[in-house]
Each structure stands twice: as structure tokens, then as C-alpha cells.
Amino acid sequence: MGITNMLRKPALLGIAVTAALLAWTPPTQARVTRIIIDTKVSPAFSGATFGTAGQYETLAGRVFGELDPNDPHNTIIQDINLAPRNANGKVEYTATFLLVKPIDMSKSSHLMWQDVPNRGGRIVIEAASRTDGDIGLSSGWQGDNSGGTAQAPDATALVPIADNNNNDYAVVPIPKNPDGSSITGVVMGRIMNVGGVNSQQIIEHSNPIPYKPTTLDTTQSTLESHDHETIDGIVSGVTRIASSDWAWARCSATNPFPGTPDATQLCVRGGFLPNKLYQVVFPSKDPYALAVGTAAFRDAASFFKYSTQDDFGNPNPVASQIAWIITRGSSQSGTFVRQLIHFGFTKDEANRTVYDGAWPIVAARRIGLNFRFAKPDLVMKLYEAGSEGPLWWYPWPDVARGLPAGGILDRCTVSNSCPKVLEHFGAAEVWGQKLTAGWVGTSADADIPLPRNVRRYYFAGSPHGGGNGGFSTTPGSLPGCSGTNYGTGTFSTNPMPQTETVNALRFYFRRWVMTGTPPPPSRYPTLAGHNLVPPTQAAMGFPNLPAILASSNPNAPFLDVGSTTSRFVQALMQYNWGPTLNYSENIGFHSFEPPIVTQVLPQVVPRVDADGNEIGGVPVVLALAPLGTYLGWNITSAGFHQGQVCNYTGGWIPFANTQAQRLATGDPRLSLQERYGNHAGYVAAVTAAADNVMAQGFLLQADHDALIAAAAASNVLQ
């Protein structure tokens, strides 16, 4: 039976009274102390109306707050004891937000989605949620003041200011030593594939590195180039660049070496060489107390849920109207959600439970945020933090790394504040982000149980965040490997979608949080189900596809036929940064950079069928009526990582149209004609698949009908 598109709003008798009672906060309690609305648009969205909620408005603004550095809810924040304090002995912060709400809040669903901006990118709740009457809150948390999280010059002004170009961020303190001097440490930056240029900024995935050297004297830093790195951390062709041959400077053909001094740029005599990676290690100072942004995120949610006004009489624009909050983040932002829960930021300083639900999306780790000189933009390539400590919800031993048993839910279990959790992933997180360690542990030898409050859904063969869907046999463009200058993939962009399934999951999650009705059982590959295997061609049963064999680099075989050492999954490594880091919590600081690779830990990946498509996971129409092999990985076509995994970018290898075409290339997969006969046969296959998926509860009626119509209009076997 199909899913209805709307939830019936439950009765909310007593909510306003309860919220009003909870809103009062003792004057000494640290909290959001001031709210400022910088920009209001009412009505928004060109005056459109949404369901029974009617018209919406948007309010962009800032929250100002303070934290008690001695409160047990906050003491986990790295260096909060060294952060500057106000006259009340509290640590202050500012965070931006965008509130999207019905103009008439009595028509709302009283459910708020608190979305986590990804690298500062502001989020506006989707039209479907506005039709449901939901409230959206995009809430700043990242305080490293770089690129997409760069602060407005007047970010802390106590009067309305111009909105900040659709970015959300936090302003967090810079701790100092007890004597007032700067905290110092060592920082590493890496630059790749920039041959031919004279100077280059250090980019951490997609944003400039937030830290600068304490001195422009290059004898105090080290710069080296690498000819090659394997995905399991073996570095070769290392060349140390003399301090006299590079500078912290901007330079160009018209402004040659040593250029103009600049702490944000590296200038190399003669320019950077192509197809190499450059690694610089330098002393830095004044790290941000970045996890203060996590507390700011929590406190913003708490204010909108529980308070009626701030300390200065400014009203909460949704006072007494929020019954439930679900926090949600995708990719980097999803790892933030997992870390927020792990560190216990599910209760505020008044000991009130903040979150009713949490939805970490395509997020395979916990964000590296709460240690000195952390770089939250990084994504777990070589030497990048994020896999330290428990990656799983249920308390589980970590024998392989010699760490104590634990789980992400440990703190919220003790405080009785664990939200309902829904998580979903695609194949790209397996191949590029070490996902399955969170399913089977660092020993990769047993399925870790899921707690009752957690549901997990896996989208087999899906790229990171899902593809564009559709039913086309025309290969798309070659995708860029995720990350600045990483390279380009060899195989076409993977279209395997997540959109329609996510629409259904959103329905179920809302209902679970608002009414207690549980969503469908978790669906993902397991060891017990014999659908998780070692990452080799033989174990996976992966076919010998000519396109892949032709693209394999003999120096780093992607699918080495007959071998048990294929390198087509990013390695899960245990790092040693010295004794100053708590490896279970990823708190403290790095004594040195780069880290030592202590060991490469085993991983498992989904088994595949005769076409190379993964087995296991939620049913998806395109996967049940495939047009090719859908890969969660791709091969880097050129540059420093040529022949290796294309970070966490997916790929697609279409089926041949006819038997003659596939036989001419040696393709073992049946052609489209052999599978479906003709266009009508393919439309029939899509119809059957859509009926099947909807019957299992993973497809809404409207999406069911739209997919069939799209298949009928497609070019498949036309």
C-alpha cells in the first residue's frame, strides 16, 4: 500500500502551557542571551502558499550566548577552560541563523528541522516540508573563519546588520595560555596537482586553511614534494625543498620568486611541478575553540524550543510553538550530527533534552572538530582525522586499536536524552569514507547491533548524496573527484538517485518522532547475510568489465584480476599523533605532523551480482531496472592519484544496447535489448519495480507515478 503524502497533525493540547513553564531560565544559567533579527522577508517564496500552513516568512539573524566553562555539559570542549571570559565568568559566542516559518504559526506542524550548514552553506527547508507545515532552522556552528565560514566584519555588532550572503557560521573564542600568551602548535597543509603555477593557497578540501604560520621564516617550516602515495599510506619519491627555494608569499610570472610576503600563500622557485603533492608543516598559533560552535548550535535549538524571549525582551519568534526538533546534516554536516550526539550536546545547561530526532546523512564518521588546530573541512584522505574513537552507535569493543569499548550514544544514554536516529548512506561512503567500520568494527569480524532508537538504510550503488536519476542511456560527463584539484573520474557520472527514497524516509521519520510509529526495519548489507565481503574482486564476485580493466594503473591496480590486494577502497588507518591526543574522544592536540600510520585496518564491502551491482540495501527503482553498473567508486584519470580511487566519487558503466555491441567489446553483461527487448519492455520493468518498491513502503505514490512517466519518455531502446 502506498504512503499518503501528508501526516495528520496530532493534537497539541497543553504544549503552549508546558513550553511556557519550561521557558523560564534561572538568571545565572548560561544560554542564548540575545537574539537579533537582521533581515525579515514576509511573505517569502514570492508569496506562495504551502498546504494548510499558508504563506511562509524567513528571518535571518544571530544568537548571542554564553557558556559556563565549568558546567559538565560544556567541559568536554577543548580549551574552554582557557577561553576568555566575560564579567560573569562565562565564555561568549555568536552564531548566525535562518528561520523559515509559517507566518501564522498556529497552522504549523510544530516540528522544527534544525539543519547543519555544510561548510557554511545556508539551508532552506524543502518545499515538501513547508507543505507539511514544518519550521526550518539553518544554524551556524563552524567557527574557523575561512572561506564559506568567513565572518562578516560586524558579526558581533549588537544591532541589525546586512545579511551575510547566505552563509551561516559561528564566532568562537581563541583560547590563551594562563599567562595570556598565544597557544602554539604544529599544522600541516597539502597541495596537489597545481603544476605550472608560482604560488598557491592551501585548500582543505574546499576552503582555505584557517591557520597561518607564526613566522614567514621558512627555516622554521618544512616543505616537501611527493611523487606517489598509495591509498594505504605508502609514500615514495619524497623531495625536501630547501628553505631558500620557497617562501610564504604571493608570486607570479610578473612578480617572480620570492614574491610578495603573504602568510596564506606558498611560492616555489621555478613554480610547482605537475602531478605532485606538496606537503608543508609549520608552527602556528591561536587555535579556535571550535567545539564552542557545537554548544552554540545546541543553544540555538534550545532557545527556539523553550524560551519566550531573550534577556533584553526580544521575543522568540516561535515561542511556545515548537514541540519537536530534528537535527539533520549531510556529508560533513552529518558527521557533525554524529559528533554532537557523541559529545552529549543533546541536553542544554538547564538539563533539558533538546533533540527528538537526528538524521546524519551520507556521513560515515565523526567530525574532527574538538582538538587544537582542528580542520573540520577535511574528509579523511591520507593523514586526515575523523575515524578515531567509536564509529558505531552501540557500545562495542575496539580491540584492533587497543581502545576502550564505547559507542556514540554513551553520553546521551547516561543523561536519558538520546534522540531517535535515522541514518542513510550510499556506496560512495563505503569506498571513499570507510563506512563499514561503523557496521562491523575495526576488526571487521562481526555485525554490531543497532540500538532500538536507530534505523539504518543503505542505497546500493549510489554516489555521495545520490545521483540525478532519470532513465537515460546516454553517458553523462566525467565527474570531478571530490576535493580541490583531486582530479577527474574515468567513468561517467553515476545517476543512481536517493531523492525518491529520501522523500519516503522523511515521511517515516516525521511520523516516528511525532507519533511514535516506527519506520520500516533497517536495510543494509551484513556479514550474517553474507553480503559484506573483503574488498577484492574474487570475494565481491565483480565481473571482468573491459572498461575497468583498460583503466587500471599497473602501479596501483584497481581491479587486479586474481589478486587479493586490489586497491579500490580508501584505507582505514590507525594514526599516531603522539601522547597528547585522546584517541577515543579525538580531543587534545597533535604533537607532530604528519601522523605515523600505525596499522591499516581491515574493511568489508558489499557483494555484487553478475552485473557488478551491489546486493543489499533499500529497493530503488533504477537499481531494480538497471541501465548499467552503478559504482560507488571511480578511477582518477590523471594527476597525482591517477589509477587510484577518485576520493569518494561514484561512476557508471552503461550496458551495451545490443548483444552484438557487447560481444564486440567482450562485455559479459547482458545488453539492454537482451534484458528488456524494447522500449515498452523497459517501461514495463520500471513499472514493476516501482510497484514493488512502493509495496515495500519506500516510495510515495506521487514519486511512483513520476518515475513511470519518466521511463516512458526516456530514450531507452528507442
Three-class DSSP labels, 163-221: CCCCECCEECCCCECCCCCECEEEEEEEEECCCCCCEEECEECCEECCCCECCCCHHHC
Is the bond leading into 521 cis (omega within 30 degrees of zero)? no
> How many Å apart are CA 717 and CA 609, to the nearest integer?
23
User: Residue 29: its pLDDT value, please?
Assistant: 53
Q: pLDDT confidence of 678, banded at 50, 70, 90?
A: very high
Query: Looking at residue 567, what is its pLDDT?
Result: 62
The torsion of the CA quartet 625, 523, 537, 397, rounded to 10 degrees, works out to 170
Vertex 481, ends 379 and 641: CA angle to 5°?
90
> Residues 226-251: what's their mean pLDDT?
95
User: What interhelical angle do 15-23 and 292-306 show, nearest 10?
Assistant: 130
Cis before 160 (ω within 30):
no
Average pLDDT score over residue span 631-641: 94
- Give the range among 445-449, 568-572, 683-687 with minimum mean pLDDT: 568-572
**Which segments within 230-310 are labelled E, that is strand?**
235-241, 246-250, 260-268, 277-285
Asked if the model's pLDDT at residue 436 lies above 80, the reply is yes
Q: Is the pLDDT of residue 250 over 90?
A: yes
Asked if the model's pLDDT at residue 374 lies above 70, the reply is yes
Q: Structure pTM?
A: 0.94
Burial class (CB in 10 A: 0-12, 13-18, 19+), 258: middle
Q: How far is CA 22 from the centre of its chain?
A: 33
352 has pLDDT over 80: yes
> How big is the CA angle at 225 (ends 586 and 264), to the nearest 5 degrees?
65
Rounded Cα–Cα distance for residues 341 and 345 (Å) = 6
Residue 149 has pLDDT above 60, yes or no: yes
All three cell numbers of 301, joined, read 535549538
Region 624-630: mean pLDDT is 98
Residue 3 predicted with pLDDT over 90: no
The predicted model gives 413-419 an average pLDDT of 98
Q: Of 612, 218, 584, which is closest to residue 410 (Cα–Cα)?
A: 584
Q: What percent of the chain has pLDDT over 70?
A: 94
Secondary structure percentages of the chain, helix, strand, coil, to 5 = 20, 25, 55
Say if residues 483 and 380 touch (Cβ distance below 8 Å).
Answer: no
3-class DSSP state of 654: strand
Q: What's residue 19's pLDDT?
A: 40
Tell me whether strands 246-250 and 135-139 are parallel, antiparallel or unpaired: unpaired
Mean pLDDT within 443-468: 97
Phi, psi of 429 (to 5 degrees): -75, -25
- Give, to the nearest 10 degrees, the angle between helix 499-515 and helix 701-712: 180
3-state SS, 461-524, equals CCCCCCCCCCCCCCCCCCCECCCCCCCEECCECCCCCCHHHHHHHHHHHHHHHHHCCCCCCCEC
